[in-house]
């Protein structure tokens, strides 16, 4: 579904992406793991068309996304830090995004809005929201359109345990429906039951891209966190 070929992107001297090639297919739930500054967010932003790579290209359903914009109708994106117009209320933001995408979607998935109890605070302005509530808004917006592809950048970092659990359940449900889900996270325990594939990035390069079962067999560890730790210790990649 999403194929990135030889992506390279530099910000000044820093090489954020260095010849990155990945393939993501329908029904997979992919964890994008790596230390801070390893290029995970840049990779995600390139897929979203927010960052234009210096070299290489990305295809979405077989179409090159360069100069394309309509493919984003099949994308739900939850940013690491949600930036929203500060003066708008939650309700206005949701309405606006719905209005923008209404030519592609008529049915909206408002399950998360309900479960996160957002409907009680719809009149609150965005600037008054706490970091966690903002994340709930971002999450609700990402899932609102039943998109085929969900891209979640550090989704559970600011959520309380209860909300994180709701969120995990939602991701799982969407996975069952055969959607492609791309998650970056540092909280590996959150990902354990969810992911089917792991992409490990370091210094702008993809070190490995493996199925979770292969990873478990190779390292002999059941938990993802331990498996990754084992790999980093042995450095056998």
Partner 1 sequence: MKKITRYVIVDILRNRIVLAYTLFLLIISFSVFTLEDTGEKGLLSLLNITLIIVPLVSIIFSTIYTYNSAEFIELLVSQPLKRRTIWLSLYYGLSTSLGISFLIGAGIPIILYQPTTTGFVMIGAGIMLSVIFAAIALCGAVLIRDKAKGIGISILLWLYFSLLFDGLILFILFQFDDYPLDKFMIAASAFNPIDLSRIFILLQMDASALMGYTGALFRNFFGSGAGSAIATVVLLLWIIIPAWLSVRKFERKDL
Shortest Å, Cβ 114 to partner 1: 22
Binding of partner 1 at residue 40 (CB under 8 A)?
A: no
**Integer Cα distance of 183 and 167 in angstroms:** 12
Shortest Å, Cβ 155 to partner 1: 15
Shortest Å, Cβ 104 to partner 1: 6
Binding of partner 1 at residue 4 (CB under 8 A)?
A: no
In the chain, what are the helix, strand and coil shares in percent, each to the nearest 5? Answer: 40, 25, 35
Binding of partner 1 at residue 149 (CB under 8 A)?
A: no
Binding of partner 1 at residue 13 (CB under 8 A)?
A: no
Residue with smaller CB distance to partner 1, 71 or 116: 71
Binding of partner 1 at residue 69 (CB under 8 A)?
A: yes
Binding of partner 1 at residue 48 (CB under 8 A)?
A: yes
- Identify the residue among 13, 83, 177, 236 touching partner 1 (CB under 8 A): 83
Binding of partner 1 at residue 162 (CB under 8 A)?
A: no
DSSP-based three-state secondary structure for 82: coil
Binding of partner 1 at residue 96 (CB under 8 A)?
A: yes
Shortest Å, Cβ 204 to partner 1: 15
Q: Return the residue matching tokens 């309380």.
A: 160
Binding of partner 1 at residue 131 (CB under 8 A)?
A: no
- Identify the residue among 13, 62, 99, 123 touching partner 1 (CB under 8 A): 99
With 0-12 / 13-18 / 19 or more C-beta atoms within 10 angstroms meaning exposed / middle / buried, residue 52 is exposed
Mind giving me the DSSP string for 19-69? EEEEEE-TT-EEEEE-STTSSHHHHHHHHHTSS--SEEEEEETTEE-TT--
Shortest Å, Cβ 10 to partner 1: 11
Q: Residue 43 contacts by C-beta under 8 Å, 6 or more apart in sequence?
A: 4, 7, 17, 20, 22, 32, 201
Cα-only R_g, the chain: 18
Shortest Å, Cβ 11 to partner 1: 8
DSSP-based three-state secondary structure for 206: strand
- 203 in the Ramachandran plot: left (φ > 0), alpha (ψ -120 to 50) or beta? left
Contacting residues toward partner 1, per CB under 8 A: 11, 45, 48-52, 69-73, 75, 77, 79, 83-87, 93, 96-97, 99-101, 104
């Amino acid at each position: 579904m999403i194929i990135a070929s030889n992506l390279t992107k530099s910000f000044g001297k820093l090489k954020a992406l260095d010849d990155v090639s990945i393939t993501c297919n329908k029904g997979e739930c992919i964890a994008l793991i790596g230390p801070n500054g390893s290029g995970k967010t840049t990779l995600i932003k390139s897929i979203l068309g927010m960052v234009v790579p210096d070299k290489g290209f990305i295809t979405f359903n077989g179409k090159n996304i360069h100069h394309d914009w309509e493919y984003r109708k099949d994308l739900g994106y939850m940013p690491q830090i949600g930036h929203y117009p500060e003066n708008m209320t939650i309700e206005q933001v949701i309405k606006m995004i719905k209005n923008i995408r209404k030519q592609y979607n008529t049915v909206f998935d408002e399950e998360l809005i309900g479960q996160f109890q957002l409907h009680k605070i719809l009149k609150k302005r965005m600037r008054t929201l706490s970091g966690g509530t903002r994340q709930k808004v971002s999450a609700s917006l990402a899932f609102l359109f039943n998109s085929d592809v969900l891209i979640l950048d550090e989704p559970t970092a600011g959520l309380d345990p209860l909300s994180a659990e709701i969120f995990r359940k939602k991701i799982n449900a969407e996975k069952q429906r055969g959607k492609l889900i791309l998650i970056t996270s540092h909280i590996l325990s959150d990902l354990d039951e969810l992911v089917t594939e792991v992409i490990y990035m370091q210094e702008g390069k993809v070190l490995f891209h493996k199925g979770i079962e292969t990873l478990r067999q190779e390292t002999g560890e059941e938990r993802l966190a331990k498996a990754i730790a084992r790999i980093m210790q042995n450095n056998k990649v």
